[in-house]
């Protein structure tokens, strides 16, 4: 039996989102702004769900399940906070665009799960497992189409930003696949992947908000830079949690990147800091296509023998600091402070 589509409370989702994704301090910063942002995210959710209906019940069910299983609303939250930081009093001008970027993100998660043959997504059966490969692929495609239907409400420059971010996502997937099981691909290649797969869509979303409100170029450029740096900080922390996180809190098993042979800043840093014999062992184990639990545990032991955890955690913090500096052109106020706290929280979160 396929699971019924869930529709979590937006308020519960938002509080859990900020605490879990950005840390307790960000949640505290959010407290006074919560009623406004809950309403904003709820309005984006309503707009998003308006376009998910299909003539075919199975496709509608799969699309809505994908959106509900996506759970987090990071992009709508960031877009709403940015819009408010620029003086907006309503989500109306950005509502459809925020829904579009959320659908693009959700579509990539569905396709990623098909590529990775993932059984779960944030503690629930993935769309792949719940509906099977053919419908999962079609549902992902359907979400992309509906996203651009929403984006079509905006000027051509905004639509172009959406399209370029989708092209970046596709290129990032190809680049990541090209470096699987290859620790010699290096950090430069890793950051090319991260910028395309994670950072570009956040940058595009926030820069688009700046354009919609008619902000000067300095603010639009600052929002683009903030989104990119925030995305990179978030991904570096995500890579660290894949090795050192709590699987119960994260809702997924550890060592997925090691298992799949995806070089991350953690594996690349550990590899570069090991001596000859242990470096050769690390590379040999990393290259295994079918790793047993003992192989994964040994890779973690070798990582623990270096100061990789500390070095990588600091690197995430540096990207968060860069994100905060990018907000200098924005006017001061509570929503800008929230964006600053969200950047630091992305680099410090526990799950």
Q: How far apart are the first and last CA of the chain?
A: 30
Residue ranges, the chain, pLDDT below 50: 1-12
92: exposed, middle or buried (C-beta count within 10 Å: 0-12, 13-18, 19+)?
exposed
Question: Given this model, what pLDDT does residue 18 score?
Answer: 63
Question: Given this model, what pLDDT does residue 3 score?
Answer: 36
87 Cα distance to chain centroid:
26
Question: Given this model, what pLDDT does residue 22 score?
Answer: 64
Which class is 10-348 in CATH?
mainly alpha
CB 29 within 8 A of CB 337: yes
C-alpha 37/C-alpha 42 separation (Å) is 8
Contacts of 335 (CB under 8 A, 6+ apart): 33, 81, 82, 84, 85
Question: Given this model, what pLDDT does residue 8 score?
Answer: 38
Cβ-defined contacts of 71-74 (< 8 Å, 24+): 71/8, 71/13, 71/17, 71/122, 72/13, 72/17, 72/21, 72/122, 73/10, 73/13, 73/14, 73/17, 73/41, 73/44, 73/45, 73/102, 74/17, 74/21, 74/202
pTM of the model: 0.90
Token pair listed for 251: 């809702």
In the chain, where the domains are located: 10-348
Question: Given this model, what pLDDT does residue 181 score?
Answer: 97
Question: Given this model, what pLDDT does residue 165 score?
Answer: 93
């Amino acid at each position: 039996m396929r699971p019924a589509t869930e529709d979590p409370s937006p308020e519960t989702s938002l509080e859990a989102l900020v605490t879990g994704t950005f840390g307790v301090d960000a949640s505290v910063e959010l407290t006074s702004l919560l009623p406004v942002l809950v309403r904003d995210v709820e309005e984006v959710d309503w707009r998003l769900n308006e376009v998910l209906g299909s003539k075919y019940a199975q496709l509608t069910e799969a699309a809505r399940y994908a959106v509900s299983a996506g759970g987090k609303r990071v992009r709508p939250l960031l877009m709403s906070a940015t819009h408010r930081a620029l003086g907006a009093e309503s989500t109306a001008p950005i509502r459809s665009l925020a829904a579009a970027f959320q659908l693009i993100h959700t579509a990539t998660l569905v396709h990623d799960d098909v590529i990775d043959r993932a059984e779960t997504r944030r503690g629930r059966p993935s769309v792949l497992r719940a509906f099977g490969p053919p419908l999962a692929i079609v549902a992902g495609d359907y979400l992309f189409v509906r996203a651009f239907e929403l984006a079509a409400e905006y000027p051509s420059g905004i639509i172009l930003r959406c399209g370029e971010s989708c092209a970046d996502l596709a290129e990032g997937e190809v680049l990541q696949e090209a470096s699987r099981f290859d620790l010699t691909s290096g950090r430069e290649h890793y950051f090319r992947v991260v910028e395309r797969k994670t950072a570009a869509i956040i940058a595009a979303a926030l820069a688009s908000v700046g354009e919609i409100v008619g902000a000067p170029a300095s603010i639009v450029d600052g929002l683009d830079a903030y989104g990119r740096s925030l995305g990179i900080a978030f991904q570096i922390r995500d890579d660290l949690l894949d090795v050192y996180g709590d699987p119960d809190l994260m809702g997924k098993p550890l060592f997925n990147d090691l298992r799949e042979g995806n070089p991350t800043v953690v594996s690349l840093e550990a590899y570069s800091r090991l001596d000859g014999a242990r470096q050769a062992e690390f590379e040999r184990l990393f290259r295994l296509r079918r790793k047993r639990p003992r192989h994964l545990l040994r890779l973690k032991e070798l990582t623990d023998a270096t100061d990789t955890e500390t070095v990588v955690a600091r690197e995430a913090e540096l990207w968060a600091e860069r994100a905060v500096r990018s907000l200098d052109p924005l006017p001061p106020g509570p929503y800008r402070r929230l964006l600053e706290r969200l950047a630091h929280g992305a680099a410090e979160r526990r799950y």
